[in-house]
Structure 1
Amino acid sequence: MSAAVSPHELRQAMSRFATGVAVITTSDGHNDHVMTANSLTSVSLDPPMVLLCIQRTARFHDVVLASGRWAANLLPEHAAAAAGWFATRGRAVEQQLEGIAHHRGVDGMALLEGAIATLECRTRDVHDGGDHSIFVADVLSTTAHEEASPLIYYRGGFRTLADPCL
């Protein structure tokens, strides 16, 4: 049996796996709630499903759990500042999207203008994932735009496809 892997060791190994960057939006009926995520992946094409992992201690966790509705906004390379802002812990709950161009999707969730793709989702199942919950969702609608390159997350920071290898 191998020795246990520490959280630091796992973080270091997984930081070598480049991912896209998404801003996830939901609502409690009064306020929009927003977070940055890179733990979003396709589960099934038929039916269309994705999964999202959210840390249980994040305040966003309980809101999306209660709402059951959320949207994923895949960010273009020029949106690193927005991604950083929405990843900042302790932001005020009210008016999180103030100054951010967006519109409402078919299920009422905020969809960011300029996103290279959007997915509107309804949670189907929630599974235990250690210190995270795994939200499996049906995808209700999508948009996709070809005009911009994606923002990616690699080795603990936001990057673009044009960045030199690190």
Structure 2
Amino acid sequence: MDDERGRDVDSTLFRGVVGRFATGVAIVTTVSADGADHAMTVNAFTSVSLDPPLVMFCVEKAGRFHDVVLEAGRWAVSVLTEDMRDASQWFATRGRTLDGQLRGWAHARGPATGAPILSRAVASVECRTHAVHEGGDHTIVVGEVVGLDVPDPDGRPLIFYAGGYRTLG
């Protein structure tokens, strides 16, 4: 009986229903062993624990970011401001060129991880991988927080709701 759970759920309806939970939009970045920067747009990002400070994001197993971030073991999250919709769309584009993909996006290296942090982010979190869990076609990556910053303290967050970008009030 357990093998049948979820099989009767319509995938289009599922996406529509869970998409009604408003989320922020962020870019997760890491640096591969060969020194290349990698980045991916996420909206599956949240805090997990205060003691110790832990956060998590979900990464699609089939995506090229998956193996790189797991191998690197260190990564950063840049929470996007409402005027960074173009960054969200660019880093969500499948098959985009990896060479110089951060060119044109102001960023600095996180002091704790060396991962790129977008300079106009409303907040940033640097992490080292704490745990990795299976999650269907995604992997749940839990990170121990090793650095925090507020690059744009006056920024307003970019929101994703019901399949589209939104802003506060």
Aligned residues with identical type, % of pairs: 49
Cα distance per residue 1:41-66 (max 9 Å; x no partner): 00001110001111100110010011
Letter in 2 for 1:99: G
Per-residue CA shift, 1:49-94, capped at 9, x if unaligned?
0011111001100100111111000000000011111111001111
Report what 1:33 is aligned to: 38
CA distance in 2, matches of 1:100, 1:73: 12
* 2:69 counterpart SS class: helix
Letter in 2 for 1:155: A
Q: Which amino acid aligns with 2:39?
A: V
Residue of structure 2 equivalent to 1:119? 125
In structure 2, give the amino acid aligned to 1:71: A
Superposition TM-score, scaled by structure 2 size: 0.91
Q: State the TM-score, normalized to the length of structure 1.
A: 0.93
Aligned to 1:79: 84
The CA RMSD measured in Å over matched residues stands at 1.4
Task: Decide which of 103, 107, 116 is 2:108's aligned counterpart.
Answer: 103
CA distance in 2, matches of 1:114, 1:3: 42
Separation of aligned partners in 1, 2:62 and 2:158: 26
Deviation at 1:4, TM superposition (A): 2.2
CA distance in 2, matches of 1:2, 1:25: 32
2:66 aligned to 47, 61, 64, which one?
Answer: 61
1: distance between equivalents of 2:63 and 2:6?
A: 31
Residue 123 of structure 2 is aligned to residue 133 of structure 1:
no
Which portions of structure 1, spanning 4 or more consecutive aligned residues, are displaced by more than 6 angstroms? none
Runs of at least 5 residues in structure 1 that lack an aligned partner in the other structure: none
1:91 maps to amino acid: R
Gaps of 5+ in 2: none
